[in-house]
Amino acid sequence: MFNKLFLSLPVEIVNRYLAYIQTGDFQSLRKVNPEYILQTAIKSISALSLNLEVVILQTGGKGYGLEFPNEVKIQPPLHEKLSRIPLPWRENIFYYDQYDLLQRLSKGKKWTFSEIRPDGIVGFGPGSNVMNMGFGIAFSLTLYREIYGKGAEVPFPSRLHGYHTRHTDKFQNILAQMEIFFALNRDKCPNGSSFNCGDGEPVTWAQVWPGICSYFGLSGV
């Protein structure tokens, strides 16, 4: 069924994965990401392709206020119908700006968009950047093993509440397939629809830290 549809039309799908630039403060993060990157991307594509069908915007947990656990009341389950977080914290969430921009740009156009909100993503990447936790953890545990030897106890390198807080990690392919599914099934996803993405039950660092440490021959405590 799919093949027939695809072969019949030379159409464009855009999986616009969020190209995210980390900057030093909230306001420049807000300006750099939505206003320049997304707008430039969409306007360039629209100029070049008359057949743009769909834009998939990947956002994440910031929209639920996860960066402000002390200031914003975070009441799980964090579902898609929740309101945006209150002012003044709302001003710091560039995902909202990106969503609003797509809503404005898609008005009266043939293309539609959906937003996908994953939490932590687990998987492989061919490069590395500052958001790669795996690299830092592996580097640090390798050194730890070298210095303290096999079976040494490694305390979790952060706060206790972080050790027990639940988060909804997912494997990268689950997220990718979900985004592809939304791109190919626009009849099931209205313009501006938002979806969380998860993979099984929420997890805590308390559940995974001992396993990660044992991979390096260490004992996580």
Partner 1 sequence: MAQTGKHALIFGASGISGWSIMNQTLQYPTSTALGRVTGLSNRPFDKKDAFLPDDERLRIVSGIDLT
Cis peptide before 86 (omega within 30 of 0): no
54 and 14 Cβ atoms separated by less than 8 Å = yes
Question: CB 119 → partner 1: shortest distance, Å?
Answer: 12
Q: Which of 95, 179, 205, 216 binds partner 1 (CB under 8 A)?
A: 179
Size of the site for partner 1 (CB under 8 A): 43
Q: How far is CA 25 from the centre of its chain?
A: 19
The contact mask relative to partner 1 for 149-178 (x = CB under 8 A, - = no) is -----------------------xx-xxx-
Distance (Å, whole) CA 10 – CA 5: 10
CB of 34 to partner 1, least distance (A): 11
* Options 37-45, 61-69, 70-78, 149-157: segment touching partner 1 (CB under 8 A): 37-45
What secondary structure letter does DSSP report for 37? Answer: I
Separation CA 94–CA 58 (nearest Å): 12
Whole-angstrom CA distances from 221 to 42, 85, 124, 160, 208 are 47, 35, 26, 11, 11
Q: How far apart are CA 151 and CA 31, in angstroms?
A: 47
Give the Cα separation of 51 and 12 in Å (integer): 6
Residue 41 in contact with partner 1, rule: CB under 8 A? yes
- Look up residue 79 and give its two tokens: 């579902």
32 CB neighbour count, 10 Å cutoff: 15
Omega into 77 within 30° of 0, i.e. cis?
Answer: yes
Q: Would you give the DSSP letter of residue 124?
A: -
Stretch that binds partner 1, among 16-24, 72-80, 96-104, 203-211 (CB under 8 A): 16-24
C-beta of 25: minimal distance to partner 1 in Å? 16
Q: Which is nearer to partner 1, 85 or 102 (CB)?
A: 102
Q: Which of 72, 74, 184, 212 is the binder for partner 1 (CB under 8 A)?
A: 184
Stretch that binds partner 1, among 92-100, 116-124, 158-166, 201-209 (CB under 8 A): 116-124
**Binding flag, residue 81, partner 1 (CB under 8 A):** no
Backbone φ, ψ for residue 5 (5° rounding): -60, -45
* Position 121 contacts partner 1 (CB under 8 A): yes
Q: Out of 3, 70, 75, 83, name the contact with partner 1 by CB under 8 A.
A: 3
**Which among 28, 24, 56, 30 is positioned nearest to 41, based on CA atoms?**
56
* Selected range binding partner 1 among 67-75, 85-93, 99-107, 179-187, rule: CB under 8 A: 179-187
Question: What is the binding site for partner 1 (CB under 8 A)?
Answer: 2-3, 6-7, 10-21, 32, 36-37, 40-41, 45, 53, 58, 118, 121, 123-127, 129, 132, 172-173, 175-177, 179-181, 183-184
